[in-house]
Structure 1
């Protein structure tokens, strides 16, 4: 929702309207009345029940496979705890990318706008979320799962180069997919309370971030031609591929005492998992289609990672 030029002084041809300001003002009002401090909201000292899962079993990458049927309850619990910590670690990684992109986008902008204030509010939220996820993983005894080196380098390039609708599109992909999962986790009666609590906080606060990202994408694309939309669609799909492919680290299977090679083979053929991914991506795909960001090449990418 930029009204000023870029840092280098080049005019930015966005069409900022009073309605755009109203969106940011409403999001600021929401943040003022409905925000949480994880340090106070979560009982970090409470013991973890041995039989509580890290996420709803239905969201496990192995649920619905022959291997899942062979696993002991202890292995299932251990696997889901490591899976959720891997997803949280991926969330931390991308939240750090997100913060840098948002700050760069707001560099030298008009500090008197509601957009500027909400953008910094979002960065503050993401800092708290990253700390919250890191603390939850430490509590569950999981290692710091990191993306592969090639993915980490791709993330560096994305955060340095992505701007406008591409940057906010990548942000929206990460937030939308995790949002659907966490809405289930926070209601899971057999899920660890620490996961339910962190999920509740994240769902409430990320709903504002998703609205902000959608509004930014709409504004940046006003008057955009077909070529620009196709280029953005391809870039966002590439970001989605990297994010989704990196959510569950291969190390989670060894942590549960499983044969990693067999586990990965079962995951690749897991139709239940593919259906869950399509469910979690439905609203995102609808928005991308509405925005002209669902093209033939991007659709092929989304189908490959089972988002369509």
Structure 2
């Protein structure tokens, strides 16, 4: 029996393409980069830090709390940079493939915007933090190598979508947080503005590929659902970087990471971050309940 090929992806993207063109900005001139950031201002919203809501946060000095917001902002932006690099490599390989011919025009916008995002995230990290955090080990895809081409393709775009939805949750909140420096708010605001289009596109392409999978290999849907639930958990875990704890002057970083990730307040926060994505996956038929 012949393996079903991936059918061409046909989507109505005129509105998204028009928004990308009308909303274009020059990333190299739009930001007013200050020489320094006020030393007593947090760089990440305090209730978005990985210790928020736990006794571990209250045990920190105020200096350590501010330091943690700085290093977790650098970690968050570093995660953005590494995530963008990964998704760009996937999209560039497909942009002129027959399967994506109908959406190639939007993919050109997507690539250009993501490259610009990578640039301004790196600018913030290097200007004010003096570094990027290294990429963390990725979730291995060995468990899906035996799946059909459609399932593997679906997982590629699902990973991109999950990454963007989680990032956008943080961007949307910090874009309006007046406690943050203006430059931090602006970077989050601009990224959120673009990501709203990317998320809309990601959901459309995800749905199209999932429809193909349901039609051709429905038995693989629970396997995809299981992988995506693991990827959601992996993505949340990357926010807990022990290097950020160490740089903030907090001892026993690895033990602290374990305690924080298991704390009920943090588990509730994870559910809040993932709520929108899980709702979408559930409605699509690849949600958490499918895994059970």
For the residues of structure 2 that align with 1:165 and 1:200, how far apart are their CA atoms?
A: 29
Matched, 1:36 2:25: yes
Kept in 1, the 8 Å contact 2:96–2:104? The answer is no
Tell me by how many angstroms 1:297 deviates.
6.5
For the residues of structure 2 that align with 1:229 and 1:97, how far apart are their CA atoms?
A: 24
Tell me by how many angstroms 1:163 deviates.
4.3
Q: List runs of 5+ in structure 1 lacking aligned partners.
A: 1-9, 300-308
| Residue deviations 1:177-225 (CA, integer Å, cap 9, x gap) | 1111111111111112222111001101011111111100111122533
Q: 2:233 aligns with which of 225, 237, 241?
A: 241
Matched, 1:171 2:163: no
Which residue in 2 is equivalent to 1:143? 131
SS of the aligned residue for 1:221 comes to: helix
Matched, 1:184 2:173: yes
- How do 1:1-308 residues align onto structure 2 when only pairs under 5 Å count? 11-13=5-7, 16=10, 20=11, 22=12, 24-109=13-98, 113=102, 115-148=103-136, 151-152=137-138, 154=140, 163-225=152-214, 226-259=218-251, 260-296=253-289, 298=291
For the residues of structure 2 that align with 1:87 and 1:248, how far apart are their CA atoms?
A: 10
| Residue deviations 1:124-161 (CA, integer Å, cap 9, x gap) | 1111111111111112225321234xx14848999xx9
Q: Tell me: CA distance 1:212–1:79, structure 2 relative to 1, closer, same or farther (3 Å).
A: same
For the residues of structure 1 that align with 2:164 and 2:100, how far apart are their CA atoms?
A: 26
* Structure 1 moving runs of 4+ over 6 Å: 155-158
How many aligned positions are there?
Answer: 282
Q: List runs of 5+ in structure 2 lacking aligned partners.
A: none
Q: Tell me: CA distance 1:280–1:295, structure 2 relative to 1, closer, same or farther (3 Å).
A: closer
TM-score, scaled to structure 1:
0.82
Q: Tell me: CA distance 1:255–1:204, structure 2 relative to 1, closer, same or farther (3 Å).
A: same
Q: Tell me: CA distance 1:133–1:15, structure 2 relative to 1, closer, same or farther (3 Å).
A: closer
Kept in 1, the 8 Å contact 2:240–2:257? The answer is no
Tell me by how many angstroms 1:271 deviates.
2.6
For the residues of structure 2 that align with 1:248 and 1:66, how far apart are their CA atoms?
A: 16
RMSD after superposition: 2.7
For the residues of structure 2 that align with 1:111 and 1:168, how far apart are their CA atoms?
A: 12
TM-score, scaled to structure 2:
0.86
